Each structure stands twice: as structure tokens, then as C-alpha cells.
Amino acid sequence: MTDLYVLDHFKYCPKCGSQNLSRPKEIVVVCGDCDFTLYFNPTSSAATFIEDDAGKLLVIKRAREPSKGKFGLPGGFIDPGETAEQCAIREAKEEVNLDLQKIEYLGSWPNEYVHKSVMYPVLDTYFVGHVDSFKEMNGDPSEVTTIEYVDPGTVPAEQWAFPSLKKAVRKYLETRSR
């Protein structure tokens, strides 16, 4: 099995173990024996557009799948109890060792994230961030192959890691031109 929606992997009720499961909606599994209902709404992520003083955008080349080798931004999944803003700040520190001083909301877009042959729906949230210094910047090798600065308007769409990121880049470019 590859790229199945996460709920397609449920064969047994997580509460009673019954195989009497139904899917009345795409995001719901219901047990016909104990009436347990599991809702699986999209998970959330946050990423940040960070510019250098010349207006070039900091991008990372992804070190792992999905989209290994393509351009991404410092970002990742939001932890339980964490806000999108807190996640964006934490991920910038973890992935590229940058301390975001200020972040502004850009937008959010739905995405699909395939991990170990399971497709998870994700709501990707994007911010524009500012840093005081790039001196201590370095990439986490488990996440980042290289850090580069690019003119996002010249990067071919197929080089961006995710469909949501392509949409975020378009909006980012629109806001920069105002």
C-alpha cells in the first residue's frame, strides 16, 4: 500500500478492536460495535519566509522525503499545545539556528504530506520573519542539505517542495511588490 489516506489504514477499532468500521465522511471512522468515533482533521505546520538585507530569500534544500532536494523554508509540524507562531520560531531555531525577532502572518494553504506511504492532510501556515543577525546560522543536517539565498521570483515552480509553498511564494511576491 502506498500513499493511502491515514484513515484507510484503520482496520480495527482503537477502543474495542472490532473490525466493524465505517467511514460516513472522509475524515471520520465509526465503530459499529462500540460507537467509538475517530475524527482525523488536518495536522498543522508553520514555516517562515526570512530575507537577507539584499532582499534575497533564505531557503533550505530538504535533506529528506518528501521532496528531498527541493527548496523549502525553515518550518515543521506544530506540537500539541503550541501556537503556529511558537512553532515557526522553534523550527527556525532548530533547522537553521536563527532567532526570529518578529513574525507576521502571511497565509495558510492545505497540503498533503506523504510519510512512509501514508498521506496526511496538512494545513500549512506561513509567516514572514525577521532576524537581527545571520552570524550563527547553520543547518541541521538531518533536515537541511544546504542553505541558500534566492530571488524567489526566479525560482521555477517545480523546485518548490510543496503545492502549498508554491501558493505561499506567489502571495509573498505579491506582498513584496506593494
Shared domain for 19 and 70, answered yes or no, is no
Shared domain for 30 and 118, answered yes or no, is no
Shared domain for 51 and 122, answered yes or no, is yes
Shared domain for 104 and 164, answered yes or no, is yes
pLDDT value at residue 3: 64
Shared domain for 31 and 59, answered yes or no, is no
Shared domain for 34 and 47, answered yes or no, is no
Q: Which residues of the chain have pLDDT under 70?
A: 1-3
Shared domain for 23 and 54, answered yes or no, is no
Residue 126 belongs to domain with CATH number: 3.90.79.10
Shared domain for 48 and 134, answered yes or no, is yes
Shared domain for 81 and 10, answered yes or no, is no
Q: How many domains does the chain contain in total? A: 2
Q: How far are the Cα atoms of 61, 67, 110, 153 from residue 159, in angstroms, in the given order?
A: 10, 9, 19, 12
* Residue 165 structural domain: 43-176
Shared domain for 95 and 141, answered yes or no, is yes
